[in-house]
Amino acid sequence: MDLVIYLNGKFVPEKEAVVSVFDHGLLYGDGVFEGIRAYHNRVFKLKEHIDRLYYSAHAIDLKIPLSKEEMEGVVLETCRRSNVRDGYIRLVVTRGVGDLGLDPRKCPKPTIFCIAASIQLYPEELYKKGLEMVTVATRRNLPEACNPRVKSLNYLNNVCARIEANLAGVPEAVMLNQEGYVAEATGDNIFIVKNKVLITPPPSAGILEGITRNTVIEIAGQKGIRVVEKLFTRYDIYNADECFLTGTAAEIIPAVKLDGRTIGDGRPGRMTWELIHAFRELTKVDGPLIFQEEGSRAASGLG
């Protein structure tokens, strides 16, 4: 089945989903986006993703012409049109079409599109064995420059770090902030476990405040696991009992080695597995239904 894409108020076939070469999202990375997951006929943490999209847009003075409720409807309907019950959703708002200059005032109308498809960020075996990481030279953007809390279309900072990981022959990299503290991976947040305490960098470290990150913190609290948001260095990862990454596409994936140093016993840890299991259970019940009656397109009114 061909994908059906939402584009500026219409649902069109994938081949017809095109944007102008004068769109400032393409020319300058001027825009915001969300990566969202659908599980078991539900869109996971949809409200939280939509809220973050609007926060990011407001931070760059990008006015979205749809209400949050309308945008949620766009996401759900895009999933229905492409018959996606389990998959990955990319929701994008660009500054829109303008001229070849930087001035956003020359872009009278934002471009909005939504894609529902599939994604596999890491091979399944890495979830069982854990992945290896390296620390890269590329530092995370300064909050005073392009604030990492804005989920913008300009991901070149992350791409440069990923190139370094590729050249090192490993699937992921740790990025430090300007002070040398651990910020995050190239596209995921990072957690370590030390003496049964779950530790992750605070937003002030220069990170994207991830939806999956916040979900893991909530789950840990419900399980009575102590969670601490604080600055730490590579030394703390080297000597951690466990380490894992979190992200919408990655979910929760164990990390077992950094810069050639084995983390813990070199295998995914007990707390990591406990959180993975709890997260997967939550995906079965959280979020609005895509099709009101599973397996019945008639119930969706699409026929």
Give 166-197 pLDDT, tens digit per residue: 999 999 999 999 999 999 999 999 999 999 99
Rounded to whole angstroms, the Cα distance separating 222 from 225 reads: 7
Residue 295 scores a pLDDT above 80: no
User: How many other CB atoms are found less than 10 A from the CB of residue 9?
Assistant: 9
Q: Provide the H-helix boundaries in 102-233.
A: 124-129, 156-168, 211-222
The token pair at 81 is: 């049109």
Residue 298 scores a pLDDT above 60: no
In the chain the first and final C-alpha atoms are separated, in Å, by 15
Query: How does pLDDT run across 63-73, given as a tens digit for each residue?
Result: 999 999 999 99
Model pTM? Answer: 0.93
Residue 247 scores a pLDDT above 60: yes
Q: Span 214-233, mean pLDDT?
A: 98
Residues 111/148, Cβ–Cβ less than 8 Å: no
Mode of pairing for the β-strands spanning 10-13 and 31-39: unpaired
Percent of the chain beyond pLDDT 70?
96
**Would you list the domain boundaries of the chain?**
4-119, 124-282
Mean pLDDT of the chain: 95
Domain 4-119 has CATH 3.40.50.300: no
Lowest-confidence segment of 39-53, 117-131, 224-238 by average pLDDT = 117-131
Residue 164 scores a pLDDT above 80: yes
Assigned CATH topology for domain 124-282: D-amino Acid Aminotransferase; Chain A, domain 2 (3.20.10)
Q: Using the 8-state DSSP alphabet, how is residue 85 labeled? A: S
Catalytic residue list contains 15: no
Q: Span 211-222, mean pLDDT?
A: 98
Of 10, 15, 129, 151, the active-site residue reads 151
So what's the pLDDT on residue 120? 81
Measured in residues, the chain has a length of 303
User: How many other CB atoms are found less than 10 A from the CB of residue 111?
Assistant: 20
**Domain 124-282 in the same topology as domain 4-119:** no
